[in-house]
């Protein structure tokens, strides 16, 4: 029974190669709203399934999850497209939830904390995609110069996604490492974290920095920037509050 639940959960807290299903689904030409919904609900189903299983996650499955997290973090380094990056980072981050020792409620919270920054990025990226056709570093939009509010929010969203303090992901990762610091898993998690940082820095470098390609990118309105800013601040405050319960 547990094994069946775990194998089905491997689709929702994606384990390679089942992760291909999620990433193909996310890459389909849906609107940003649907993608955002997928990013929120998909891991919650996975968490529900693994917490329903009567047995704890076996070691081989935890190792598989770690390998998946590493694989997608490594592959994310070479990505130039924001949409693909969101999918790969989600896959890599959610796979780490297999290693969490938290209670069911906390795992749902951790999954949400890892998803929300990616949801923000999806909503932001959808807007830009409508304007430019794609959100790729190949277009070198130089957002910081051409659309500073847009660039600023995008940068903060990427930072929150790669588990920069005080985003919820930071505390989730620290708690996961602290739960099992003796084995190789802690070292692999830190390497995954490092690869997220590298891929995030490359994305920021390609999308935000530079003189711009000449394509005019309309900036976020003041009210939209405020809304995104408040959402990011809420994410930070949520992370601080979450630290109280996960640590």
- In whole angstroms, give the CA distance from residue 239 to residue 165: 8
Residue 24 touching another protein (CB under 8 A):
yes
Shortest approach of another protein to residue 241 CB, angstroms?
9
Q: Is 192 exposed, middle or buried (0-12, 13-18, 19+ CB in 10 A)?
A: buried
Residues 6+ apart with CB under 8 A from 28: none
Does 209 contact another protein by CB under 8 A?
yes
Closest separation between CB of residue 3 and another protein, Å? Answer: 26
Residues 6+ apart with CB under 8 A from 58: 6
CA–CA dist 185, 64 (Å, integer): 11
Using CB under 8 A as the binding rule, whether residue 208 contacts another protein is answered as yes
Residue 117 within binding range of another protein, rule CB under 8 A = no
Give the residue, chosen from 211, 215, 216, 221, that forms a contact with another protein under the rule CB under 8 A: 211
Strand partners, 214: none
Q: Is the CB of 11 or the CB of 177 nearer to another protein? A: 177
- Of the candidates 165, 213, 224, 225, which one interacts with another protein according to CB under 8 A? 165
Cα–Cα nearest to 93, from 77, 78, 113? 113
Task: Give the separation between CA 9 and CA 3, rounded to whole angstroms.
Answer: 10
Instruction: Mark residues 131-150: x for contact with another protein by CB under 8 A, - for none.
Output: -----------x-xx-----
- The Cα 205–Cα 134 span in angstroms is 17
> Which parts of this chain interact with another protein (CB under 8 A)?
20, 23-24, 27, 71, 74-79, 84, 87, 142, 144-145, 151, 159, 164-166, 170-171, 173-174, 177-178, 181-182, 186-187, 190-191, 193-194, 197-198, 201-202, 204-205, 208-211, 243-244, 247
């Amino acid at each position: 029974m547990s094994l069946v639940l775990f194998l089905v959960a491997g689709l929702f807290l994606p384990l390679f190669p089942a992760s291909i299903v999620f990433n193909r689904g996310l890459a389909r030409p849906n609107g940003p709203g649907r993608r955002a919904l997928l990013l929120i609900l998909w891991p919650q189903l996975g968490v529900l399934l693994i917490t329903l299983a009567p047995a704890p996650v076996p070691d081989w499955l935890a190792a598989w999850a770690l390998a998946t997290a590493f694989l997608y973090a490594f592959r994310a380094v070479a990505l130039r497209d924001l949409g693909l990056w969101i999918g790969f980072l989600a896959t890599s981050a959610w796979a780490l939830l297999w290693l969490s020792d938290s209670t069911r409620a906390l795992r749902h919270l951790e999954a949400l904390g890892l998803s929300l920054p990616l949801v923000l990025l999806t909503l932001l990226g959808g807007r830009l995609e409508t304007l430019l056709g794609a959100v790729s570093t190949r277009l070198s939009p130089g957002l910081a110069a051409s659309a500073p509010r847009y660039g600023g929010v995008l940068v903060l969203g990427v930072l929150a996604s790669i588990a920069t303090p005080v985003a919820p992901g930071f505390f989730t990762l620290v708690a996961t490492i602290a739960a099992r610091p003796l084995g190789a898993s802690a070292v692999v998690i830190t390497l995954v974290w490092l690869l997220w940082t590298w891929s995030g820095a490359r994305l920021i470098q390609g999308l935000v920095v530079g003189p711009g390609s000449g394509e005019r990118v309309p900036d976020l309105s003041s009210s939209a920037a405020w809304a995104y800013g408040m959402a990011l601040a809420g994410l930070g405050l949520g992370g601080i509050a979450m630290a109280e319960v996960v640590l």
